Amino acid sequence: MCLLCCLFQVANAQTNKSDTTQARLYYEQAQKLMIAGKYIQAEVLFVKIFKMDVLLPDEICYYYGKTLFEVKKYAQSKSFIEKYIRLKGEEGEYYLQSLQLELDIEKATNPQAPKHCEKVQRDTCHQCRGSGLAFQSCTRCEGHGKIICDLCKGNKVNIESTSFGERYFTCSRCQGMGVVECPVCEGTRQEKRKCANCRGKGMAYYRRACK
């Protein structure tokens, strides 16, 4: 490798390290400005950070989205909050706050949205009552609890060919009933699934009027 190329790589590495340090300082300063309610100044620092070629934490999407909301840039704020939710999901530290921001953005931009104060709260799922499970008519047996015996195909007997002809005997699997217990619902006629409302977690998020 030529000397010039080596010098360029070293210089580039030093520049990236310097940018990372500077971005970290901007990030910390922007968060302090947010705490102080100085969102316009915080936005300026966030813009500088995004212009740098550095690896950014996922949480910056929430902080920047919050800042944009406070300076009334609702469309941009919504975009960054949605990105944070996609990246972190319910495990994200600011998931609940992000849901609240989405609600606040809706109220600020939708004339038809209720104007009274509302808060997003995590509570026991109303549909599954905290079990995380939902029950529906079994799709395998269509709610009958039984399915056609796959050995005798519902004929109740099995046929064995011998040198003396065909021999018929009672199906050993279904005991001559022609049907067996459904392996999915185990005869209960109901199939267990993850609750769609809470995605099997037992807890969900609801809008509540402010107290």
Q: What is the pLDDT of residues 141-184, one digit of tens each?
A: 999 999 999 999 999 998 887 777 788 889 989 999 999 999 99
Which of the two residues, 68 and 5, has the higher pLDDT score? 68
CB 145 within 8 A of CB 189: yes
Mean pLDDT of 90-102: 95
Band the pLDDT of 5: cuts 50, 70, 90: very low
Q: How far is CA 201 from the centre of its chain?
A: 11
Average pLDDT for the chain: 88
Nearest to 200 by CA among 128, 112, 105, 103: 128
Residues of 143-155 as b/e, b for ≥16 C-beta within 10 angstroms?
Answer: eebbbebeebeee
Please determine, for residue 114, whether its predicted confidence score (pLDDT) is greater than 80.
yes
Q: Specify the range with the lowest mean pLDDT, choosing from 29-33, 48-52, 68-72, 197-201.
A: 197-201
- Whose tokens are 């609801």? That residue is 206
Band the pLDDT of 4: cuts 50, 70, 90: very low
Q: In this predicted model, what pLDDT tens digit does every residue of 151-162 receive, in sequence order? A: 999 999 988 877
Name all domains of the chain by residue range, CATH numbers in brackets.
Answer: 16-115 (1.25.40.10), 135-192 (2.10.230)
First CA to last CA distance, the chain: 69
Q: In this predicted model, what pLDDT tens digit does every residue of 56-69 receive, in sequence order? A: 999 999 999 999 99
CB count within 10 Å of CB 176 equals 15
CB count within 10 Å of CB 92 equals 18
In this prediction, residue 178 carries a pLDDT of 92
- DSSP run (H or E) holding 148: strand 146-148
In this prediction, residue 13 carries a pLDDT of 45
Please determine, for residue 70, whether its predicted confidence score (pLDDT) is greater than 70.
yes
